[in-house]
Amino acid sequence: MSTLNKQQHMSITLQLQDIQTTLPDHVTLVAVSKTKPISDIMEAYNAGQRVFGENKIQEMCDKFEEMPKDIQWHMIGHVQRNKVKYMAPFVSLIHGVDNFKLLKEINKQAKANDRTINCLLQIKIAEEDSKFGMSLNEASELLKSDAFLDLKHINITGVMGMATFTDNMTQVENEFNTLQKAFNHLKDLQPENTVFKTISMGMSGDYKLAITCGSTMVRVGSSIFGERNYKA
């Protein structure tokens, strides 16, 4: 048991460095630490990693409390509106914004905390029905709306997408290209309250392909921390 732990412990640093050295300078690595214990995250922190992604608000808040305060916490999962208030004081970037009501709540909670919260619009690029996200059309309508202009405490910094879970890399590539095109289209609208710079796409299995398709932010979990055990 202890030997196994030690091996796992060492490999986090090595795997992180391995990935970091292959990333172009313009690509940000979000280390996806969901389900992983503080000790694992500290290992990555001590190896220099400062950006971490979680998909449950409560878990992210607990980790925020216990961990060094120079960590940038990204919410990468589906966001429930009634829980926005818990992360509003500290969250660095919310990836999965896919409706106006949610954006309005984020704006309200950001204002209450006297800050501006950075958000990405999640665009639906996968064929699967299970994935969240807006159509490109819905996203443009949102950015062009008068109601959006009133949200002074949010800053849309780009888009996020999740490709279909498949071995068919041609399909994944097409979906990534769709997101890159959506980004360019929305950026060209030059809406207020936005600084379009981020395309968040690519996970452990496909982040290299995502980068060739224009990704500027990859969300990598299992290739750094190992497989997740959801029963633990």
Ligand X SMILES: *Cc1c(COP(=O)(O)O)cnc(C)c1O
Question: What residues line the site for ligand X (CB under 6 A)?
Answer: 32, 34, 55, 76-77, 162, 203-205, 219-223
**Nearer residue to ligand X within complex by CB, 22 or 222:** 222
Q: How far is residue 147 CA from its own chain's centroid?
A: 25
> Are 83 and 105 in contact, with CB atoms under 8 Å apart?
no
Closest approach of Cβ 49 to ligand X, in Å? 14
Neighbours of 212 (CB within 10 A): 11
Closest approach of Cβ 76 to ligand X, in Å? 4
What are the tokens at 47?
């190896």
Closest approach of Cβ 162 to ligand X, in Å? 6
**Nearer residue to ligand X within complex by CB, 163 or 186:** 163
**Nearer residue to ligand X within complex by CB, 121 or 151:** 121
**Nearer residue to ligand X within complex by CB, 131 or 181:** 131
Closest approach of Cβ 217 to ligand X, in Å? 10
**Nearer residue to ligand X within complex by CB, 55 or 109:** 55
**Nearer residue to ligand X within complex by CB, 75 or 151:** 75
Q: How far is residue 41 CA from its own chain's centroid?
A: 17
Three-state secondary-structure class, residue 9: helix
Write down the number of H helices and E strands in the chain. Answer: 10, 8
What are the tokens at 120?
């990405």
Residue nearest to ligand X (CB): 221
Three-state secondary-structure class, residue 54: strand
Closest approach of Cβ 144 to ligand X, in Å? 27
Which amino acid does the sequence have at 79? V
Closest approach of Cβ 93 to ligand X, in Å? 12
**Nearer residue to ligand X within complex by CB, 148 or 183:** 183
Which amino acid does the sequence have at 219? R
Taking CA atoms, 196 is separated from 139, 151, 193, 203, 219, in Å, by 13, 16, 10, 21, 18
Please state, in angstroms and rounded to a whole number, the distance separating the CA atoms of residues 186 and 158.
Answer: 9
Determine if residue 193 is left, alpha or beta; phi over 0 gives left, psi from -120 to 50 gives alpha, anything else beta. Answer: left
Closest approach of Cβ 29 to ligand X, in Å? 11
